[in-house]
Chains A and B, each alone.
Chain A
Amino acid sequence: MMNDDRLDALLNKVEHVSPRADLQTRIETQAFAKAQEQKISFGLPHVLRDWRWITAEALAACAMLLIGFYAGLSSAEDVFDTPVITAFDIITQEEDWTL
Chain B
Amino acid sequence: MKLQNIWFVVLACKVNLYILEYSIKYIFRDKYKNIFIVIVMSLLVALLAATLFISNSMKAKYNSIIDNYPDIVITNQKALRDSTIDENEIDKVLTLKGVTSVVARVWGHYYFLNADKKFLILGRDEFETYFNPLLNQKMNINKESMLVSKDVKKILNDNYYKKYFNFIKSDGMIEKVKIQNTLDLDTSVKNPLLIIMNKDLAKNIFQYKNSEVTDLAVSVANKNEIAFIATKIKILFPNARITIKDDLRVHYENIYNLRSGFFLTIFIITFFTFFIIIYDKVSGLNSEQRQEIGILKALGWRVSDVLNAKLYEGSIISLLSYILGISFALIYVYVFNAPYLKDMFLNNYNLLPDFKIAFTMDYETLALLFFLSVPIYIAATIIPSWRVATLEADEVMR
Q: Do A and B come from one complex?
A: no
